[in-house]
Amino acid sequence: LNQYVGFDSITRQIETKLLKRGFQFNVMVVGQTGLGKSTLINTLFASHLIDSKGRVDAFEQPRSTTEIHPVSHLIIENGVKLRLNIVDSPGYGEQINNENCWDPIIKYIKDQHSAYLRKELTAMRERYITDTRIHCCLFFINPTGHTLRPIDVTVMKKLADVVNVVPVIAKSDSLTLEERAQFKARIRDEMEYHDIHAYPFDSDEFEEGERELNERMRDLIPFAVVGSERNVVIDGKTVRGRKNRYGVINVENENHCEFNQLRTFLTRTHLQDLIETTALKHYEAFRSRQLLALKESSA
């Protein structure tokens, strides 16, 4: 008698279905104007496309950022579709009075949760709700080598309450390796001191390997990145890089900066978890608050 029922293929079935439908990944970049946000985004995903021979449409982005608007890109890699939405945000903390300068950014994130909830609650549920919730917020830190600005602490804390925050040290080519290591440690200390809960989080369901990976990531974060939209030739090979007075920085060389580690983190090791954590942690928290408020107002 054949005992094999075959339900183990369900994982493959689900996978195939999911892969066909494709998935959506929404990234927001936050930080002062001029820290290289647009450049890094272009470096991250443009080079990804080049080395993966993927396809993309509308890979165009307006240069100045005066309001919050997502730009959508379609990436196809080995038949897998990824709808990548990049949300650029206006630089904050640049006015004389910076009170509530983070409001539009936080509001944008909450508005996406609220739109999702509205669709979930409508009687005729859509089969697949378009997901515009921000899965990852890349927070750009000025490479001063000193401490975080008070306003950065405030904004990062507000963000961490509603979204997965991944801090990066912008333009890290301006720091020596020693300064960089010290700055990273200082930022981690400050975040702990101010009780800022950045991504990644551990879950009870995690296996040993996943815990270890997250432990390693927490030792690495904030990623010290360098971005460039220019190609340079190093040893006859064309790479993304920056030429300065002293030499050439190869953006993808792990001895030069942590661009590669960030890219692996975002697109390989933590893509699914960023999406899941958004739904299970941030959105759930929003949802229960909203439903509670609804109940109270109708009681």
Tell me whether residue 42 or residue 277 sits nearer to ligand GDP (CB atom). Answer: 42
Q: Which does 75 bind (CB under 5 to 8 A by kind): Mg ion, ligand GDP, none?
A: none
Q: With b meaning 16 or more CB within 10 Å and e meaning fewer, what string describes 62-73? A: eeebeebebeeb
Q: Which does 52 bind (CB under 5 to 8 A by kind): ligand GDP, Mg ion, none?
A: none
Q: How far is the CB of 173 from ligand GDP (least distance, A)?
A: 5
Among 22, 49, 65, 206, binds Mg ion (CB under 5 A): 65
Tell me whether residue 24 or residue 38 sits nearer to Mg ion (CB atom). Answer: 38
Please report, as ranges, the residues that interact with ligand GDP according to CB under 6 A: 33-39, 171, 173, 226-227, 242
Q: Which does 36 bind (CB under 5 to 8 A by kind): ligand GDP, Mg ion, none?
A: ligand GDP
Q: How far is the CB of 168 from Mg ion (least distance, A)?
A: 14
Pairing mode, strands 237-244 and 247-250: antiparallel
Q: How far is the CB of 71 from Mg ion (least distance, A)?
A: 11
Q: With b meaning 16 or more CB within 10 Å and e meaning fewer, what string describes 163-190? A: bbbbbbbbbbbebeeebbeebbeebbee
Q: How far is the CB of 71 from ligand GDP (least distance, A)?
A: 13
Q: Is residue 250 a contact point for Mg ion (CB under 5 A)?
A: no
Q: Which stretch binds Mg ion (CB under 5 A): 58-66, 98-106, 189-197, 214-222?
A: 58-66
Give the residue nearest to ligand GDP (CB): 36
Which residue in this structure is represented by tokens 């950065």? 152
Q: How many residues bind Mg ion (CB under 5 A)?
A: 3
Q: Which does 263 bind (CB under 5 to 8 A by kind): ligand GDP, Mg ion, none?
A: none
Q: Which does 241 bind (CB under 5 to 8 A by kind): Mg ion, ligand GDP, none?
A: none
Q: Which does 167 bind (CB under 5 to 8 A by kind): Mg ion, ligand GDP, none?
A: none
Q: Which does 39 bind (CB under 5 to 8 A by kind): Mg ion, ligand GDP, none?
A: ligand GDP
Q: Which two tokens stand for residue 190?
A: 């400050």
Q: How far is the CB of 173 from Mg ion (least distance, A)?
A: 18
Tell me whether residue 61 or residue 130 sits nearer to ligand GDP (CB atom). Answer: 61
How far is it, in rounded angstroms, from Cα 294 to Cα 291? 5
Contact 225, 172 (CB under 8 A): yes
Q: Which residues contact 69 (CB under 8 A, 6 or more apart)?
A: 87, 88
Q: Is residue 26 a contact point for Mg ion (CB under 5 A)?
A: no
Q: Which two tokens stand for residue 183?
A: 């700055």
Among 38, 42, 47, 277, binds Mg ion (CB under 5 A): 38
Catalog residues that contact Mg ion under the rule CB under 5 A. 37-38, 65
